[in-house]
Amino acid sequence: MKRFAVIGLGKFGFHMARVLFEEGNEVIAIDKDPDRVQTIDPYCTEAIVLDASEKEKIRSLGLDEMDAVVVSIGSDVSKSVLLTLYLQEIGVKKVLAKAMDEDHAKVLMKVGATEVIHPEKAMAVKVAQGLSRPNILDFIPLSEDFNLLQIAPPSAFIGKSLKQLDLRARYNVHVIAIEEVLTENFVLVPPADFVIKDSDILIVLGRSQDVRRIKDLNGPEQ
């Protein structure tokens, strides 16, 4: 189980916290608005009412022990920059910060963000690419119980063929495509004799708990 904190519970922060929690992670959700905190409470490990500009209170939360902290208060540029700086100073390993524009993003990177998020830009790119070159994966209907995920192959899979692995029988998971990263080749519905390489990316379909069993074979990420 990984540990995350999401600071700022607007639409982006709310959905980020909820999805992380529903994926089986420990999630601390933080906002200065009590109503927002009350709304997220059923969908996180702990919901806290706190003004992110209060440095000492932020320091007391032990956020340096988190796998990552998401700063989702992009609409308040100065506060998001200040908070990102605080998190860097207290030793948070990974800080993902939401940016309003390119200038905001540059400042966030300079004060310690390890990754900058442009939600609107990312969504626009995804929709535009879907319109101009639709991907068959976008058209597979999924119920809430199923996931379609890209995963790195566990070490036990390397050098073995799909027939040898027999993932459908062992894990009830289907490998519907493989991306060969080194050659930039995309294999849709790979044959049974396809041998998995450590540089491949597997695109798998299955129930959430079954897909998670395969992901867990990689062990905890460092």
Q: Is residue 115 part of a domain?
A: yes
Q: Would you state the pLDDT for residue 142?
A: 56
List C-alpha distances in Å: 176 to 14, 23, 128.
31, 22, 24
Same domain, residue pair 20 and 111? yes
Residues spanned by the domain of 45: 3-121
Kindly report the three-state secondary structure assignment for every residue of the chain.
CCEEEEECCCHHHHHHHHHHHHCCCEEEEEECCHHHHHHHHHHCCEEEECCCCCHHHHHCCCHHHCCEEEECCCCCHHHHHHHHHHHHHCCCCCEEEECCCHHHHHHHHHCCCCEEECHHHHHHHHHHHHHHCCCHHHHCCCCCCEEEEEECCCHHHCCCEHHHHCHHHHHCEEEEEEEECCCCEEEECCCCCCECCCCEEEEEEEEHHHHHHHHHCCCCCC
Provide the mean pLDDT of the chain. 86
Q: Is residue 185 part of a domain?
A: yes
Same domain, residue pair 75 and 7? yes
Q: Would you state the pLDDT for residue 74?
A: 67
pTM of the model: 0.62
DSSP bridge partners of 207? 146
Same domain, residue pair 14 and 94? yes
Is residue 59's pLDDT more than 70? yes
Average pLDDT estimate for 193-219: 84
Q: Is residue 130 part of a domain?
A: no
Q: Would you state the pLDDT for residue 190?
A: 92
Q: Which residue has the tokens 């905001």?
A: 104
Distance CA 87, CA 91 (A): 6
Burial class (CB in 10 A: 0-12, 13-18, 19+), 23: middle
Which of 88, 121, 154 corresponds to the end of one domain? 121
Is residue 90's pLDDT more than 90? yes
Distance CA 108, CA 74 (A): 10
Distance CA 218, CA 158 (A): 12
Same domain, residue pair 183 and 212? yes
Same domain, residue pair 96 and 193? no
Model confidence over 7-30: pLDDT tens digits?
A: 999 999 999 999 899 888 999 999
Q: In CATH, what number is assigned to the domain containing residue 154?
A: 3.30.70.1450
Same domain, residue pair 18 and 51? yes
Q: Predicted confidence band at 124 (pLDDT cuts at 50, 70, 90)?
A: confident
Which of 94, 121, 148 corresponds to the end of one domain? 121
Q: Would you state the pLDDT for residue 76?
A: 84
Is residue 222's pLDDT more than 50? no
Q: Would you state the pLDDT for residue 43?
A: 95
Same domain, residue pair 9 and 116? yes
Return the higher-pLDDT residue of 133 and 21. Answer: 21
Q: Would you state the pLDDT for residue 136?
A: 45
Which of 92, 121, 150 corresponds to the end of one domain? 121
pLDDT over 90, % of the chain = 53
Q: Would you state the pLDDT for residue 219?
A: 58
